[in-house]
Amino acid sequence: MALLRKINSRAKTEINTGFGVNSTDYGGRFVDKDGRPNIGKVGISLLERISWFHAMLALPRWKFLALIFLFYIIINFGFALVYFIIGVEHLGGLVTTSKIEQFGEAYFFSAQTFTTVGYGRINPTGFLASSIAALEALVGLLCFALVTGLLYGRFSKPTAYIRFSEKAVIAPFKEGIGLMLRLAPYKNNNLTDAEAKLSLGMMVEENGKMVNKFFPLELEFARVNALSLSWTIVHPITEESPLYKLTPDDFANLRGEVLVYLKAFDDMFSNTVVARSSYTFQEIVVGAKFIPMYHRSSDGTRTILDFDKLNTYQPADVSFAFAGAAAVNE
């Protein structure tokens, strides 16, 4: 049976999704797990293709600090090499004759000049060495201004700080079943007016051609007033759902993806923050339900949110629903 026939005819389609229609030109998933579009760009230079400011803000903390530290070492090594080439005799105050130690002295003089510390024991003598030292001091001031801006940008950037469950599940829901995924805020920020949106993207055959189709997934609750604990987002798989006729084999073998978009208001930044993720059909566990991830503290005075349980689930019987779906397909 063609996949298009399995998609519920009652399901509405989304038109302006921002993704292309021709699926033969698409590779891989629509959205990566971290929420970024799975898009590679060619035909444009690297300098034009990448915003270095955005790239530095998006780097993981350890990579950002390592890059700053590596840049600091390399630029001082470069200036030390220049001082060494023009002659260390133009650096007054050197007390060593070993070439290696002289280079080391030039390196640390460079570091002192670059940071404008200037202890004073070693000083440039002559026009050329003084000119290089002056240039290095200017470069150091500019670099520290840039790093200060990047540090401020990283600390002040509004971020949702949301973690999504690694898997989505098909679990019993009321009298039927539902597609469920879980998320929770992991920082000490306060998020209010959180709103979620789910879309189903599938590659289907239509008029003998493979095309991308997108369907909005209606939610049990699309909005919560405060996002303090975990939130299990539920799409009831009813007769109006595009997932209604799909069987467990379809989830295992077909190419589909659930796109997740969340926005909330962060009262600390007084700004709206967003988070995105996606789940391919192979990342959806059929016949499972999430284990609650929060509980009362031992003294009964607080609620404990346990992130070790964000991705934990247990088996659940959903065969009754898929038996009906199989009958519908027949």
pLDDT in tens, 63-88: 999 999 999 999 999 999 999 899 88
Same domain, 72 and 185: no
Residues 266 and 296 in one domain: yes
Looking at residue 24, its pLDDT comes to 58
With beta carbons less than 8 A apart as the criterion, state whether 9 and 240 touch: no
User: Is residue 13 over pLDDT 80?
Assistant: no
- Note whether 125 and 24 are same-domain residues: no
| Helix 61-86 × helix 127-156 angle, to 10° | 180
Q: Decide: pTM greater than 0.95.
A: no
Boundary of a domain, candidates 121, 156, 191: 156
Whether residue 209 sits in one domain with residue 319: yes
Task: Tell how strand 284-286 and strand 168-173 pair up.
Answer: parallel
Q: How far is CA 77 from CA 72, 107, 152, 296, 325, in A?
A: 9, 6, 27, 56, 68
1 pLDDT exceeds 50? no
Give the Cα separation of 139 and 160 in Å (integer).
35
Question: Which pLDDT band, with edges at 50, 70 and 90, does 279 fall under?
Answer: very high
pLDDT band at 323 (very low <50, low <70, confident <90, very high): low
pLDDT digits (tens, 9 = 90+) for 188-235: 888 999 999 999 988 777 777 777 888 899 999 999 999 999 999 999
Residue 148 has pLDDT above 90, yes or no: yes
Output the pLDDT for position 164: 96
- The range of the structural domain enclosing residue 76 comes to 49-156
Which element (helix H / strand E) includes 156? helix 127-156
Instruction: Write down the mean pLDDT value for the chain.
Output: 86
d(CA 168, CA 183): 10
Are residues 165 and 308 part of one domain? yes
Tally of CA atoms within 13 A in the half-sphere of 138 that contains its CB:
6
* Residues 247, 110 share a domain: no
Q: 299 or 204, which is more confident?
A: 299
Highest mean predicted confidence (pLDDT) among 18-22, 23-27, 113-117? 113-117
The Cα–Cα gap between 11 and 8 comes to: 5
In this structure, the answer to whether residues 244 and 311 fall within a common structural domain is yes
Least confident of 9-13, 130-134, 166-170: 9-13
pLDDT in tens, 233-274: 999 999 889 888 888 888 888 888 999 999 999 988 889 999
- At 286, the pLDDT band (50, 70, 90 cuts) reads very high
Q: Any bridge partners for residue 262, and if so which?
A: 196, 275
| CATH number, position 35 | 2.60.40.1400
Per the rule left: phi > 0, alpha: psi between -120 and 50, beta: everything else, 90 is alpha
Q: In terms of pLDDT, which residue wins out, 52 or 289?
A: 289
Q: For 86-101, how does the pLDDT look when each residue is reduced to its tens digit (9 = 90+)?
A: 988 888 887 777 888 8
Averaged pLDDT, 181-187: 94
* 100 & 189 share domain: no
Find the CATH number of the domain harbouring 73: 1.10.287.70
